[in-house]
A and B are shown apart, each in its own frame.
Chain A
């Protein structure tokens, strides 16, 4: 319409000329199907990526279990992981799993309360001006590369912990856990905030109408209503913490241990994979394949966590109109 209002009507011939280079229906149809083919091709790539992940992890893990030194029973039940040291190698996954979950648990202990409180604050209380400061700060925290958090844990957190308690080693689970916690906090915060915001205002108004305070509205009505979204955000953060690599590679050490002592050096699944990638391990030996077995375990763990998160979000979502 603006063209007509400007006093420069579009000439009909121009419109016809601009209609496209291929006036013929047949050519147009060929072009349409060509485009569609390209698009389908690019979409299949994402499926191929998944298939290749499964293929690589599957075949190489199979190679691992075919080695003489390894039995599935030892791998799933063993409590010693020593693929590199000594004459007798042990491949029991539990010390690595233990280390992984120790770091993830510390991270969540830090990230869940702070992330949720910040989310409630941002969605229920914060003045737009305050929000305009805190939101970008969280986005920056989420955008900082993980290797930087690793450096932070190693150079600043660990000396601080050592100063507080002499029992801490130069590599320890707590420093790594805190850094991973700082890294996962923005994830919990932003996803939970989205869940809290999607709860309709009428529910809050109902509480105020009954004489409730803002705190009561937030904790007794809005929070339970958004619970499915919040839980799935926590599970997503847990998956991220389990898969986090650079922080633990720098700050957690490289001694696989079955321990709950946060002051000790431990090793996570991801930490082990990095150690293998860096070391001059002869290619295609049992140690090399053990990396893939650990990778497959990690993949399954994170996959299950994201899957449960997705199911909870879908199944228990409360929809308000």
Chain B
């Protein structure tokens, strides 16, 4: 034989493997066919599973999914119970989360992708930041929940506790008196911890209608006045008030407590890595020729970003943002750590109000043993899934409408 001599292939020298290689073509094609059947059946089962899943939940929940369900607050009476505060809570969260995540995520992505430094040390730092973001995406959301509990709800205990915050604005405290004629008198108090007011003659007070009146005080065995106007502002000297507060829509406090803002900030932590990565991918998809052209025309780096890269990457960024938001809507674990399961009958009125959200209310109903509540949970799930479907639909539309080749 001329030419180089090849050693015998290992597969043939090893008797075990040789048998495998020498299997008849018939056998090998049978394996091929069997594997293909296996593949098809496994892959089909995921579609079947999804359908079974949706059908099961719809059949449970469609019956109780009524207008009452959408308009009412939750209630122990299952025929009256509704989802309204939860829906509104999710809307509040969504607005706050979007307002914080979008600018932050896009800015971070831009600085990682568009402002690549030349010096080696800075590059090191940026690649560290990149690894850091990837790792943040893998942290379980419940861990963000307990971090938020310390960092936002109680703020490391630096600013007092939730009952008496260190800083408050947009709230008025009143001492509320009920007199014998069942009229209410309100006397402003300086703060939540101020000593309760003791009624004195001639003190200024407010009626619930907002009228200013002077308090008339009589002692325990004094005669109750006949005159109705006077009776309305008369108190016994032993009457003691209750402390109430009136919060405006711009109420704010530090520490944040278990309010909507703390929940939203925690959700921002959860979805920020996802948002950054999505925005980075969108920016990376913009061809370099566009940047080079702009730079060649004398544009500064910011002008390139502002007028070329960002507009070109916008559809991709929007798609990523919508997917991140739909993650935020469905996320229950971190909110559970922040808000807990409390009975909420009103939608939040300010960013510090206690709240509930759709996944929290679903959890609340699902963990109860009664079957009626399970039906309510299924109805809640239908609402949640419809919202998510709409979100994803919008994302797909954006992707289809604006995805045009850029190079």
Contact = CB atoms under 8 A, between A and B. Distances in A.
- Interface size class on chain B is 35 or more
Contacts of B151: 52, 56
Contact of A302 (B39, B140, B330, B366): B140
Contact of A125 (B39, B45, B145, B378): B39
Interface of B is mostly: helix
A134 B47 CA distance: 6
A39 B110 contact: yes
A278 B272 contact: no
Contacts of A56: 146-147, 150-151
Nearest to A216: B28
B143 A250 contact: no
Interface in A162-204: 182, 185
Interface hub of B35, B341, B359 (most chain A Cβ within 10 A)? B35
B53 interface: yes
Interface stretch (B68-76, B213-221, B281-289, B380-388): B380-388
Contacts of A125: 36, 39
Contacts of B329: 145
A125 B38 CA distance: 12
Nearest to B53: A152
Interface in B1-45: 28-29, 31-32, 35-36, 38-40, 42-45
B35 A215 contact: yes
Contact of A270 (B57, B132, B142, B384): B142
Contact of B146 (A36, A122, A239, A291): A291
B336 A145 contact: no
A38 interface: yes
A90 to B, nearest CB: 21
B46 A114 contact: yes
Given A39-B107, A42-B111, A299 B340 contact: no
A246 B367 CA distance: 11
A148 B318 CA distance: 26
B138 A150 contact: no
Contacts of B57: 148, 151-152
Nearest to A18: B307
Interface stretch (A79-87, A91-99, A135-143): A135-143
Contacts, number: 239
A150 B269 CA distance: 23
Contacts of A144: 53, 330, 385, 388
A150 to B, nearest CB: 7
Most buried by B among A39, A146, A214, A302: A39
Interface of B: 28-29, 31-32, 35-36, 38-40, 42-47, 49-50, 53, 56-57, 60, 103-104, 107-108, 110-112, 115, 129, 131-136, 138-147, 149-151, 269, 272-273, 276, 300-303, 323, 326-327, 329-333, 336-337, 340-341, 359, 362-363, 366-367, 374, 377-378, 381, 384-385, 388, 392
Interface of A: 20, 28, 31-32, 35-36, 38-40, 42-43, 45-47, 49-50, 52-53, 56-57, 60, 113-114, 117-118, 120-122, 125-126, 130, 133-134, 137-138, 140-141, 143-148, 150-152, 154-156, 182, 185, 213-216, 218-219, 236, 239-240, 242-246, 249-250, 270, 273-274, 277-278, 291-292, 295, 298-299, 302-303, 305-307, 310
Nearest 8 interchain pairs by C-beta: A243-B140, A145-B330, A39-B111, A121-B39, A42-B107, A245-B333, A306-B138, A215-B32
Given A32-B301, A245-B333, A246-B363, 16 more contacts: A28-B300, A36-B115, A39-B115, A46-B273, A57-B146, A114-B46, A134-B43, A134-B46, A145-B388, A147-B330, A155-B56, A240-B138, A274-B142, A277-B340, A278-B340, A299-B140
29 contacts: A31-B302, A36-B115, A46-B136, A53-B139, A53-B147, A57-B147, A114-B45, A118-B43, A126-B43, A143-B326, A144-B385, A145-B332, A145-B384, A146-B333, A147-B330, A147-B363, A148-B57, A151-B366, A155-B56, A182-B49, A215-B35, A239-B140, A245-B141, A277-B149, A277-B336, A277-B337, A292-B150, A295-B142, A302-B139
